[in-house]
Amino acid sequence: MALRFSPTMALEAKRNGKKLVEITAYDYSFAKIIDETQQIDMILVGDSLGMVMQGHSTTLPVTIDHSVYHTSIVSRAVTKAMVIADMPFMSYQVSPEQALKNAGRLIQEGNADAVKLEGAGRFAKAISMIVESGIPVQGHLGLTPQSINMLGGWKIQGKTMSAAERLLQQAEELVDAGVFSIVLEGMPNETAKMISESVSVPTIGIGAGPHCDGQVLVLHDLLGLSDFQPVFVKRYADLKKVSQEAISSYADEVRNGAFPGTEYTYKTKLQKDNE
């Protein structure tokens, strides 16, 4: 079986100036649609599933069991892209040992190719333990949603020169710990540019401008399935409208008797018992 997109391929893409494309998915059907395009390098089973799939207002309620489950059903559909499983809140913060154990679950039970976790500093130890165990790690810096209560809301990070330099220092810590790429979320273009030009691994931006080595978007936002539309989300389709039109047509046709017409009914005739 051919291997899926790998960390080595991601690093090579950065060296060759080839942009990387990452997208989220949470279920088998959409993962299959995405993977069959053969256009996507990395599929992230993000803890955004807490907001997109579960209807919470933050990512904080997502558990490792939720993440394992969604990763396993996404992974079943994917042959080409790298499947990256997000490590949810409190699945790695307790200790490096806890982080390693849960990263292992995402690989063994979820069939992920890599894991992602937020932050640097004290998490560098957990990241190097995970990487040394053979599990690729994607880092995540900037507006890190699991720290929303510390950040005081969904606020752009790295806005001053000193804050940008702190982010750069964290990015370097992550590279030293062994990450193969870093998501940069919610920061000025210049901050993301400075980090992207300084570190050896690819940066993947979301709300961080055009200078990153790749981009990631939440699937439901780019397809127009969610109502979330901050400035950095481009809607490439309006599937909410298309879906609601289809559902309304179905309801109308059931009510006026047009569905199911003869073309949607079995042609088998009722037989007598002895025929």
Nearer to ligand KIV, 40 or 218 (CB): 218
Binding mask 113-152 for ligand KIV (x = CB under 6 A): ----------------------------------------
Q: Are 192 and 205 in contact (CB under 8 A)?
A: yes
Among 4, 5, 14, 24, binds ligand KIV (CB under 6 A): 24
- CA 179 to chain CA centroid, Å, is 16
Query: At its nearest, how many Å lie between ligand KIV and the CB of residue 30?
Result: 13
Q: Which helix (H) or strand (E) holds 108?
A: helix 96-108
| Residues designated as active site | 185
Question: Is 25 among the residues that bind ligand KIV (CB under 6 A)?
Answer: no
Nearer to ligand KIV, 110 or 251 (CB): 110
Among 26, 31, 46, 199, binds ligand KIV (CB under 6 A): 46
Q: Is the dihedral of CA 113, 183, 102, 175 positive or negative?
A: positive
Residue 214 sits at the vertex; the CA angle it makes with 210 and 220, to the nearest 5 degrees, is 95
Residue nearest to ligand KIV (CB): 46
Q: Which residues, 47 to 106, sit near ligand KIV by CB under 6 A?
A: 47-48, 86
Query: At its nearest, how many Å lie between ligand KIV and the CB of residue 267?
Result: 47
Nearer to ligand KIV, 234 or 241 (CB): 234
C-alpha separations of 82 from 26, 44, 115, 234 in Å: 14, 8, 10, 23
User: 10 Å Cβ neighbour count for 259?
Assistant: 13
Query: At its nearest, how many Å lie between ligand KIV and the CB of residue 264?
Result: 38
Which tokens sit at 16? 């060759």
Query: At its nearest, how many Å lie between ligand KIV and the CB of residue 251?
Result: 32
C-alpha separations of 81 from 23, 52, 74, 238 in Å: 10, 21, 11, 25
Question: Is 112 among the residues that bind ligand KIV (CB under 6 A)?
Answer: no
Nearer to ligand KIV, 192 or 244 (CB): 192
Q: Which residues, 175 to 194, sit near ligand KIV by CB under 6 A?
A: 183, 185
Going by their DSSP bridges, the two strands 42-45 and 82-86 should be labelled as: parallel
| Residues in contact with 54: Cβ distance below 8 Å, sequence separation at least 6, in sequence order | 61, 62, 66
Judged by the rule CB under 6 A, the positions of this chain that interact with ligand KIV are 24, 44, 46-48, 86, 183, 185, 206, 216, 218
